[in-house]
Structure 1
Amino acid sequence: MSAPYVPLTPAVVEFDADGKLYSRTYGDAHYSPEGEAGQAERVFQHGNGLPGRWRGRQSFTVCETGFGLGLNFLALWKAWRDDPQRPATLHMVSMEAHPFTQQDLSALLAREAAAPFAALAQRLIAQWPALLPGLHRLEFENGAVTLTLGFGDAQVLAPRLSARVDAFFLDGFAPERNPGMWAPALLRDLAALAAPGATMATWACTAQLRQALQDAGFDVRSEPGFGGKQPMTMGAVRAGGHAASAPGVDAGHAVVIGAGLAGAGIAQALAGRGWRVTVLDAGRALGAPAHAGHLAAALTPVVARDDNARARLSRAGSQRAQARWQGLAGDAAPRVCGTVQVERDAGKSAALAGTLEALAFPADWVRQVDRDEASALAGLPLARGGVFFSQGMLVQPNRLIDALLETAGVTVLPGKAARVEPAGQAWRVLDGQGAELVQAQAVILANAAGARGVLADSGLLGPLPRVAQMHALTGEVTLVPAAALSGGPRCIVGGEGYLLPDVGAGCVVGSTYVHDAAEARVSADGQRVTLAKAAGLLSGHFPDFDSLVPGSLPGWAGWRAVLPGRLPAVGELPHARGLWLAVGYASRGLSWSALMGDLIAARLAGEPSPLETDLAQLISPR
């Protein structure tokens, strides 16, 4: 059973009588008397044998309890930059129950960060995420340095982390002030992440803490602290290490079967980590690339009072998509225009207010809006109020997919996979005549409902009863002249259907859900449905819109692959190592694409996972 939802409580900026940053919650100052630079270097880097221990390594991972202002991260990042013998990649995972807002962090780092860290601090601030619970992946140095921030209680987050940790920085408030951060159960959860040879260091040094660390699996000792004053604790995991996550494999050749949103997201993520990627595109083989003609779609997270798995995955996916795609050229990049999600009926306002109050998400990320404010945001009269997601994104799927497949290291090969078979340590992909299309050490099935047939014909579907129940639905969207809607909305309008801003060719409205269809096609009946849904979101009368004739308008139709529970199936097949699955995205292809690409790529590379283990388990192929 999942833990009950606990809202995130941001840090409050306060100073003690000596001018030191102070936490009223824990009754303690944020820094040691030695100063932040001395503590970061003497306690945490020296205490873990850095930079010496990372030399000669391809990758090195640090786990920290208590991110605070990020000064340990900044010092570690600078040490990595300054070391010509540094590892190719550096990863830090850090947990923080009370993160600062971006505005507060900026002001505090300007005050507290030593001059050598100032430029790096600005880069950290620029990527600082919204204060939402869960994991947030930040990338620097073209992805060579990553920071996985866990916002929430470390005792909840630590058992949900997947990483092979080489060094631990234990940096919570003093044990007597914040005992939960030093609890034996938490230390055991951290030790479970330790890679062979992992070390730990902390400025804290009490007999109780040393015993808890011993019991958790670390051999520890005391050593004089910075300046020979307060002693510190150092340790190393006992022989062997016992990290649950698997080590990464060297970047090589991967085949992605499917060139839609799922496949393109995986291709970008793998190529960005140095893999050579071949994408097999069955549609291109027939002269019909995936999503050709799909001019616009919306990417909007969802919220739920209990912050359930769907809501958490949706939020993580939305943030990952923005981070991954915002640097793409031209129309391929998402347009952050916001989304007004209209209530299904006017009587839900009180329940909606209660949900937002319980979640306590930042108001600049999501807030309730009445009909007047919703209409002002949209620039059109709307039928009801609802919620406004400021980070709602308008995406042009056709442009996005093309841009992702143009990532350096990605090759698109026309061809339809019929089955796969092992070939030593690799996999062969065969067409319908049994001819080999391509061979690689890792193969990822991202071809939606087509994956079920490939697995069945390869004799691999039996252990996957949920995947065997995957089915395909068709859906269509309609392109409406912007003039028919007084120029169209300024932001995305969603609810029972959706209405999107003008992309230059008009406004897309959608969509339909059709079971048991023989083909995906634009139809008069489908356009009748999409136009009616758009009209239901509006309260105004638009004569030009009302006069539109269903069946006479341009549009796009496609397929959705849906699994029981409407969550995707993503991960390595336990009975076929080296063969991966990424299917069942349903109508959330944009939400899952970047996140699931990074999830697969991170596992292959041996990086810390960008997704909590409980969520990863829910979507694992089965």
Structure 2
Amino acid sequence: MSKDKLHADIEWRDDGQPLSRAFDDIYFSSSSSPQEGLEESRYVFLQQNRLPERWAELPKGAVFTIGETGFGTGLNFLAAWQLWLDTAPTSARLHFISVEKYPLHSADLQRALDLWPQLQPLAGQLLRDYPPLLAAGVHRLHFERICLTLVIGEASAALRSLCLEDERSDRLVDAWFLDGFAPAKNPAMWTPELFGNMAALSKPGATFATFTCAGLVKRGLKDAGFGLEKVPGYGRKREMLRGVLEKTGPAEITSTPWHLPDSESDRGQRPLLQPVPPLVGAVRPGAVRPGAAAGREPSSQQTIAVIGAGISGATAARALAERGRKVRVFEQGPEPGSGASGNDQGILYAKLSPKPGPNGDFNLHALLFALRYYRNYCADAAHFCGLLQLAQSDKERELQRQVAAWLDFHRAGELARAVDAVEAGRIAGLPLDFGGLYFPSAGWLEPQKVCATLLRHENIELHCNTAIEELQQRENGWLLKTCRSGRSRPDRSRPDRSRPDRSYIDNEEFSADAVVVCTANGMTQFAQTSPLPLRPIRGQVSSAAAGQQSQKLETVLCGEGYLAPAFHGRHTFGATFKLKETQTELRESEHRENLANLAELLPQIAGEFSTGPMQGRAAVRAATPDYLPVTGPVPDWESLNNTYAALGKNRKQLIAQTADYQRNLFVLGGLGSRGFTYAPLTAEVLTAWLCGEVMPVSCDLVKALHPARFAIRALGKKKGN
């Protein structure tokens, strides 16, 4: 095996096919040609799971989920994708979950997929969105009606990382592709833990198929509750296995389930889905029949209210609409992105870390997801001109040195790479005194255009100039009330008061089955979400006319502040950071502060800007104490404190109880100064909570983003620990 122990070590044989040096095994059947590999995949995994028949019978709007061990070259995924397009209803969605310990680098993947011209252009779409940095963890990729969740890590642990340890949310998989290198070559993968985690993620009656009949595989599957049947293998292989999950047990609880709403409170984990139809007839041992073949079918009669049309509300609404949900968006401003998302230019930026941890992991995966997201959804409002993160201090240079080594080890130059001052200046189009990290695929966005674009969907109904003042829970949903009679508010979305005060509709009420609050610091106005510890942070962006030198800038510069390339003849730069300040008037002192920061980076440009009139905009961001967003269900705060009060004496103890949650109430916020980078992935997490999908991040990150985390930490810090 090569020194790179994180990625596939490929030997390309004379016939052009890949072989793993680590396991001395082939990736697919090669008895005569690559076509044999594709045909074997279709026979073993598609036919033996009876997918053509099951998919043809899916009802409108159904969701079908496949789990796979061993992504490899992506052959099984592409074969399933092609079959789905040929057989499934056009309104149905396929969710494909695959784990891989040693992923192929993109160049090797492309070379492998070139062997199957008949899988184009699907392979081209996969290659376009394939992660440029194959870091451990969950990578979520969308291809219209297809969703790929690729988990990098050892197979058993990777599957376990998707478990929330909850019977209703974890059992999502309809069919398994049990692939991977042969047990004789890679016995470490085929463990009892692997089969147990498969069972934990399976619906009752879920099917599986695998090319092997090895004894340890048969024993492992049987012990996990699967019924087995031997059938003829493909080609010269005499036998293979297929089967169905016959027995299920309760979810294993290894840690206090504070993140899970209580089942008796009708939690809202999957509030808008029809029940999964029961299996018809008994399952005979050894028989193979699709379990829950109808998948999960959403109800078209129910509505989700999203409060706020900034980037958090826009991404949340779009993700839900893409799943077929009816969404009503309420914005107190005159148009989407009227608040903190309303600057002329928004920077697509994240802070990478070479060390594992919630903040570093989330920043990386959020950036990777956002780069794909805006390219696919908002290409006309995104400017991928590149971004230079410049190191202006010894501390930052040392951190970037470590990040650069980490990137180099992952061969992730497509995402970011180190550059010296000379190369940085060449990339920027202006001489620079600092080197740094160059992100060639990053850049800047047109914020209001992005929000408006995302909200243009047939399933989204937008209500502007509508300020929701109060939420009232009803037996079958929520009542949303606008401003009370006799009240009006000034328009604070424009600090320069370029717009007149707007009038609000009094005493209007709206109903919804579920509510998502995306109002930044405005979350604290609602009684249900007021305990969230959000921090207001004022930020002022300055704007100046492009000068003779500044107009040469070709990429975004980030250091102590940022400077974006000219847009409509003007540059934006800044921004200030004023913790706990909520005023939004423009301040000359903060223009000077922004100029001073720019002078440290580009003194000649700051000199140009200082000679002309300055414009700008001030808004209030919302951040959390740990600077990670909040997304997920909202607890009943009193129930949460009472249920887990004993953590005040021993914060490490396991309390195997769940608390009450406020039915079908969710939040998405606390994005801070990286809202456009954080929002798409955070909205994907929110949508997984609402729609009962597998999470797009690990369970650890689900908890790190959870709205209840601060209350649980506070309990754990009480006297007695």
| Fold shared, TM-score > 0.5 on shorter chain | yes
Contact 1:484 1:542 in 2 (8 A): no
Residue 593 of structure 1: how far off its partner (Å): 1.6
Distance in 2 between residues matched to 1:76 and 1:608, nearest whole Å: 19
Q: Is the 8 A contact 1:428 1:436 kept in 2?
A: no
Match for residue 24 of structure 2 among 5, 23, 27: 27
> What does residue 62 of structure 1 align with?
66
Rounded to whole Å, the distance in 2 between the matches of 1:322 and 1:489 is 22
Q: For residue 363 of structure 1, what is the aligned residue in structure 2?
A: 413
Counterpart check, 1:306 vs 2:303? no
Q: Distance in 1 between matches of 2:662 and 2:484?
A: 23
Task: Output the TM-score relative to the length of structure 1.
Answer: 0.89
Structure 1 partner of 2:179 = 171
Closer, same or farther: CA 566–606 of 1 in aligned 2, 3 Å: same
Matched, 1:257 2:321: no
Give aligned-pair identity as a percent.
31
Sort the Cα spacing of 1:20 and 1:52 in 2 relative to 1 into closer, same or farther, 3 A: same
Q: Does the alignment pair 1:195 with 2:195?
A: no
Structure 1 residues 242, 508: CA separation in 2 closer, same or farther (over 3 Å shift)? farther
- 1:176 and 1:99 map into 2 onto residues whose CA distance is 20
- CA distance 1:242–1:545, change in 2 (3 Å): farther
Q: Which amino acid aligns with 1:339?
A: L
Structure 1 residue ranges without an equivalent (≥5):
1-5
Q: Is residue 348–residue 444 contact of structure 2 (8 Å, CA) maintained in 1?
A: yes
2:242 to 228, 231, 234: 234
Deviations 1:4-24 (A, max 9, x none): xx9873334423466642110
Deviations 1:229-256 (A, max 9, x none): 3321222223357689955622531111
Give the drift of 1:502. Answer: 0.9
Alignment of 1:191-590 (within 5 A): 191-227=199-235, 229-240=237-248, 249=273, 250=298, 251=300, 252-284=302-334, 289-290=338-339, 294-328=343-377, 331-332=380-381, 334-346=382-394, 348-358=396-406, 360-361=409-410, 362-413=412-463, 414-433=465-484, 435-454=507-526, 456=527, 458=528, 461=530, 464=531, 467=532, 469-483=533-547, 485-538=549-602, 541-542=604-605, 544-545=607-608, 547-548=610-611, 552-574=613-635, 575-590=661-676
Compared with structure 1, are the counterparts of its residues 154 and 522 closer, same or farther at alpha carbon in structure 2 (3 Å cutoff)? farther
CA contact (8 A) 1:383 1:536 kept: no
CA distance in 2, matches of 1:95, 1:618: 22
Check the 8 A contact 1:63/1:168 in 2, yes or no: yes
Helix, strand or coil at the partner of 2:333: helix
- Residue 679 of structure 2 aligns with which residue? 593
Q: Root-mean-square deviation (CA), in Å? A: 2.7
Change (3 A) 1:268 1:389: same
Task: Provide the rounded CA distance (Å) in 1 between the counterparts of 2:330 and 2:241.
Answer: 53
SS of match in other structure, 2:695:
coil
Tell me: CA distance 1:561–1:486, structure 2 relative to 1, closer, same or farther (3 Å): closer
Q: Which amino acid aligns with 1:174?
A: A
Amino acid at match of 1:266: A
> Quick one: which amino acid aligns to residue 167 of structure 1?
A
The 1-side partners of 2:623 and 2:23 are apart by 47
What's the secondary structure of 1:188's corresponding residue? helix
Residue 105 (structure 2) pairs with residue 101 (structure 1) = yes
> What's the counterpart of residue 14 of structure 1?
11
CA drift of 1:594 comes to 1.4
Q: Structure 2: how far apart are the matches of 1:236 and 1:242?
A: 18
Counterpart selection for 1:88 from 85, 88, 92: 92
Query: 1:189-213 CA distances to partner (integer Å, 9 max, x unpaired)?
Result: 2221111211111112111121122
Count of residue pairs brought into register by the alignment = 600
**Partner Cα separation in structure 2 for residue 74 and residue 183 of structure 1:** 27
User: Match of 2:72, SS?
Assistant: coil
Q: 1:128 aligns with which of 127, 130, 137?
A: 130
* Counterpart Cα distance in 1 of 2:581 and 2:314: 26
Shift of 1:101: 3.0
**Conserved? CA contact 2:40–2:234, under 8 Å:** yes
Equivalent in the alignment of 2:119: 117
Separation in 1, partners of 2:341, 2:693: 34
Go from structure 1 to structure 2 and tell me whether the alpha carbon gap of 1:139 and 1:347 turns closer, same or farther (over 3 Å shift). Answer: closer
| Deviation, structure 1 residue 571 | 0.5
Equivalent AA in structure 2 for residue 43 of structure 1: V
Question: In the alignment, is the contact (CA less than 8 A) between 1:198 and 1:241 conserved in 2?
Answer: no
- Which piece of structure 1 moves more, 568-577 or 44-53? 44-53
1:433 Cα deviation (Å)? Answer: 2.5
Query: What is the rounded CA distance, in whole Å, between the counterparts of 1:56 and 1:117 in structure 2?
Result: 24
Once residues 48 and 282 of structure 1 are traced to their aligned partners in structure 2, the CA distance between those partners, rounded to angstroms, is 50
1:292 Cα offset (Å): 7.7
Task: Kindly state the Cα deviation for residue 356 of structure 1 after the two structures are TM-superposed.
Answer: 2.7
Q: C-alpha separation between the residues in 1 aligned to 2:315 and 2:442?
A: 19
From the superposition, tell whether residues 492 and 611 of structure 1 become closer, same or farther in structure 2 (CA, over 3 Å).
same
Is there any run of 5+ residues in structure 2 with no aligned partner, and where? 164-169, 253-259, 261-268, 274-297, 486-506, 636-660, 709-721
Is this contact kept in 1: 2:599–2:606, CA < 8 A?
Answer: no
Alpha-carbon separation, structure 2, partners of 1:547 and 1:88: 57
Distance of aligned partners of 1:602 and 1:288 in 2 relative to their CA distance in 1, 3 Å threshold: closer
Aligned-partner Cα distance in 2 for 1:496–1:160: 36
Instruction: Give the drift of 1:87.
Output: 7.4
Label 1:355 to 1:597 Cα distance change in 2 as closer, same or farther (>3 A). Answer: closer
Instruction: Return the offset for 1:124.
Output: 2.5
Counterpart of 2:437 in 1: which secondary structure? strand
- Report the Cα distance in structure 2 between the residues aligned to 1:254 and 1:62, rounded to whole angstroms: 27
State the shift of 1:302 in Å.
1.9
Distance 1:116 1:377 in 2: 39
How much has 1:510 moved relative to structure 2? 0.7
What per-residue deviation string (whole Å, max 9, x for no partner) do you get for residues 164-190 of structure 1? 111111111111222232122222222
Counterpart AA for 1:452: T
Contact 1:474 1:558 in 2 (8 A): yes
Please say which of residues 354-363 and 553-562 is displaced more in the overlay.
354-363
2:58 counterpart letter in structure 1: G
**Change over 3 Å in CA distance of 1:186–1:521 after alignment to 2:** farther
Structure 1 residues 192 and 126 mapped into 2: Cα distance closer, same or farther (>3 Å)? same
Provide closer, same or farther for how the CA distance between residues 107 and 292 of structure 1 changes in structure 2, counting only shifts above 3 A: closer
1:404 deviation in Å?
1.9
| 2:520 partner SS | coil
TM-score, length of structure 2 as denominator length: 0.78
Post-superposition offset of 1:450: 0.9
Compute the displacement of 1:340 (Å).
1.0
Partner of 2:140: 137
CA contact (8 A) 2:6 2:102 kept: yes
